[in-house]
């Protein structure tokens, strides 16, 4: 994903309806191939009534992602003192409390590194500017303690396979496992990735992640949308040797890759319960599993990326089989967007989650609100509030998560203020 934040890369892929993923640093509009029109206008559409507020009040996910990759949200830059990093962290937690949120999803393993003293992987470069350098404090331990002191849940967000947002192994810390095991590494586009097709890789990344779960009372483990990397035109993810060695029982490479991802999810779920019983496991996938034109079970969308086919992530099965405790599909389009309508996708995910026991929360693109170059819907401060009003019609939807912490704090056009005023009048406990 180069130098882009996780969500910028995702939006580039999402909005490339029918085209390859974009590799520029700026996220194109979610509605870049449509009008971005909304179904409702005026105060009635933008403000939830008393019934909607009541439905959203008692036990709901009100979450915010805090990305550390490339210093997207926190720390604001590498190399700050331990005291300054701690102060920025607690300021984000305090802002979450002021907005009556109840959950912070903190990225603690952004690039095969660690925001805690790990025996498996080096300290993250996003803390000090140098991978492997001790920052002089324990960010994850502090985050858990300070979040809990404020009544917030802390979900530890891990990226399983991304090693680096550059393609030079020589820039990794000398002790990095990827340098010790170069046969584990695939260079793809502008990044380095662990090969999901190697059983020894899956075992290692699970050990590295479960170390944090064993050490800290995190409320949940969280994965985002990166499993196999997003497709890039003209690039090949070279897993030929692993496929030759391990793929013989499958109909083709795609089925084998999906099985590799399924194994990671199932094994991680079991590992979490083994290490710290009661800790939940959630995943926030790209919002389109498959288009109905490719699979009758899919959504009425025309997205250029489909998790099943392009990321080898069968997200629908994970929900239907309850391999995970909650799912947060990233629905980063406005209401009425022709190729991927927010309303259509909420309907689809609600039907998938119905009767499963898997909690459904909706991922919301706060960072697009007021962003330059975005279509009219994202310039309207009430668009996200309308999302919550619409989603409240579905009993399967048990909350929302906003990307991301920097945007919650800045709120340039007041979109988050609208959400808080319209829907978060009273505190709510997170669903368990």
Q: Residue 217 CB: number of other CB atoms within 10 A? A: 13
pLDDT digits (tens, 9 = 90+) for 347-373: 999 999 999 999 999 999 999 999 999
Sequential DSSP letters for 404-427: -HHHHHH-TTSHHHHHHHHH-SS-
Return the half-sphere exposure (C-beta side, CA atoms, 13 A cut-off) of residue 344: 21
Q: Would you give the DSSP letter of residue 429? A: B
From residue 222, give the alpha-carbon distance in Å to each of 239, 269, 279, 384, 386.
26, 11, 11, 23, 27
Q: Do the Cβ atoms of 292 and 283 come closer than 8 Å? A: no
Output phi, psi for 164, to 5 deg. Answer: -160, 155
Which parts of 131-252 fold into alpha helices (H)? 139-149, 177-180, 199-215, 240-246
Predicted pLDDT of residue 26: 28
Predicted pLDDT of residue 36: 26
pTM of the model: 0.89
From residue 324, give the alpha-carbon distance in Å to each of 145, 162, 203.
25, 21, 19
In this prediction, the residues of the chain whose per-residue pLDDT falls under 50 are: 1-56
- The pair of structure tokens assigned to 286 is 């790209």
Q: Residue 42 CB: number of other CB atoms within 10 A? A: 8
**SS3 of residue 298 by DSSP:** coil
Predicted pLDDT of residue 57: 54
Output phi, psi for 162, to 5 deg. Answer: -70, 125
pLDDT digits (tens, 9 = 90+) for 32-61: 222 222 222 223 333 334 444 444 458 899
- 191-194/185-188 β-pairing: antiparallel
- The pair of structure tokens assigned to 160 is 């399983």
Q: Over pLDDT 90: what percentage of the chain?
A: 86
In angstroms, rounded to a whole number, what is the distance separating the alpha carbons of residues 396 and 331?
Answer: 15
In angstroms, rounded to a whole number, what is the distance separating the alpha carbons of residues 318 and 415?
Answer: 32
In angstroms, rounded to a whole number, what is the distance separating the alpha carbons of residues 136 and 124?
Answer: 12
- Specify burial of residue 249 (Cβ count, 10 A radius: 0-12, 13-18, 19+): exposed
Q: Considering only CA atoms, which of 253, 256, 327 is closest in space to residue 289?
A: 327
Sequential DSSP letters for 29-53: PTTTTS----S--HHHHHS--HHHH
Q: Do the Cβ atoms of 165 and 2 come closer than 8 Å? A: yes
**SS3 of residue 283 by DSSP:** strand
Q: Do the Cβ atoms of 334 and 15 come closer than 8 Å? A: no
Q: Do the Cβ atoms of 320 and 337 come closer than 8 Å? A: no
């Amino acid at each position: 994903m180069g130098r882009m934040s996780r969500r910028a890369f995702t939006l580039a892929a999402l909005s490339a309806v029918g085209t390859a993923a974009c590799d520029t640093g700026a996220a194109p509009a979610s509605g870049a191939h449509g009008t971005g029109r909304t179904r409702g206008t005026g105060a009635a559409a933008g403000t939830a009534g008393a019934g909607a507020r009541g439905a959203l009040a008692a036990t709901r996910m009100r979450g915010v992602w805090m990305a550390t990759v490339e210093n997207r949200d926190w720390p604001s830059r590498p190399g700050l003192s331990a005291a300054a990093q701690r102060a920025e962290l607690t300021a984000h937690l305090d802002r979450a409390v002021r907005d009556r949120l109840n959950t912070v999803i903190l990225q603690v393993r952004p690039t095969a590194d660690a925001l805690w003293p790990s025996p498996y992987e080096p300290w993250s470069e996003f803390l000090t500017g140098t991978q492997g350098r001790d920052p002089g404090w324990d960010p994850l331990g502090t985050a858990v303690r300070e979040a809990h002191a404020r009544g917030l849940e802390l979900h530890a967000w891990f990226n399983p396979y991304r090693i680096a947002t550059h393609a030079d192994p020589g820039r990794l810390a000398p002790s990095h496992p990827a340098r010790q095991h170069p046969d584990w590494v695939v260079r793809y586009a502008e990044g380095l990735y662990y090969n999901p097709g190697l059983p020894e890789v899956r075992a290692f990344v699970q050990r590295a992640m479960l170390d944090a779960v064993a050490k800290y009372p995190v409320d949940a483990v969280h994965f985002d949308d990166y499993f196999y990397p997003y497709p890039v035109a003209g690039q090949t993810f070279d897993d030929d040797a692993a496929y030759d060695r391990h793929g013989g029982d499958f109909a083709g490479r795609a089925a084998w890759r999906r099985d590799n991802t399924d194994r990671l999810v199932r094994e991680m779920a079991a590992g979490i319960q083994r290490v710290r019983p009661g800790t939940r496991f959630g995943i926030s996938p790209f919002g389109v599993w498959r288009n109905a034109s490719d699979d009758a079970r899919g959504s009425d969308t025309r997205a250029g990326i489909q998790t099943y086919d392009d990321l080898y992530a069968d997200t629908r099965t994970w929900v239907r089989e309850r391999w995970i405790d909650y799912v947060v599909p990233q629905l980063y389009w406005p209401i009425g967007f022709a190729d991927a309508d927010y309303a259509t996708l909420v309907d689809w995910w609600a039907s998938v989650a119905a009767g499963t026991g898997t909690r459904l929360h909706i991922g919301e693109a706060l960072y697009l609100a007021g962003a330059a170059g975005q279509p009219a819907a994202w310039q309207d401060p009430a668009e996200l509030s309308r999302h919550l009003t619409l989603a409240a019609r579905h009993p399967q939807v048990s909350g929302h998560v906003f990307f991301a912490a920097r945007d919650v704090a800045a709120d340039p056009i007041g979109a988050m203020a609208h959400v808080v005023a319209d829907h978060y009048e009273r505190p709510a406990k997170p669903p368990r």
